[in-house]
Amino acid sequence: SAVISQKPSRDICQRGTSLTIQCQVDSQVTMMFWYRQQPGQSLTLIATANQGSEATYESGFVIDKFPISRPNLTFSTLTVSNMSPEDSSIYLCSASDFDEKLFFGSGTQLSVL
């Protein structure tokens, strides 16, 4: 099984600033994904982080707002840009190998003032 570490675990940010969340997996994985979970809601997929190429974004999410990097098979970052209070949420990283279960990090709780 893969262990996923996310940093930071929580942060409080000012409106208009940006935050970069890091996701480190303890083994090489084929697929990495970023999700958002608003209070009391289910998870919403933001994008698939592709190694060596641009991320694939879901409807309603754009690269300018949520730039994603994935430089290798164990690491990815998600940046939340030009934040507003509506971006307050939990952001989760997940990863899997092909045909295997998905593992999730414990999440980054973001509050925007």
Partner 1 sequence: DAKTTQPNSMESNEEEPVHLPCNHSTISGTDYIHWYRQLPSQGPEYVIHGLTSNVNNRMASLAIAEDRKSSTLILHRATLRDAAVYYCILRDLYNQGGKLIFGQGTELSVKP
Q: Which residues bind partner 1 (CB under 8 A)?
A: 30-31, 33, 35, 42-45, 48, 56, 92, 94, 96, 98-99, 101-107
Which amino acid belongs to residue 71? P
Least distance from partner 1 to the Cβ atom of residue 41, Å: 8
Nearer to partner 1, 57 or 75 (CB): 57
How far apart are CB 16 and partner 1 at their closest, in Å? 28
Return the number of the residue (14 or 42) whose C-beta is nearest partner 1: 42
Taking alpha carbons only, the member of 111, 102, 110, 99 closest to residue 33 is 102
To partner 1, the closest distance from the beta carbon of 113 in angstroms equals 22
Cβ proximity to partner 1: between 18 and 58 the closer is: 58
Dihedral sign for Cα atoms in the order 23, 94, 16, 56:
positive
How many Cα atoms sit within 13 Å of 85 on the Cβ side? 1
Torsional class of 73: left (φ above 0), alpha (ψ -120 to 50), beta (otherwise): alpha
Least distance CB 91 / partner 1 (angstroms): 11
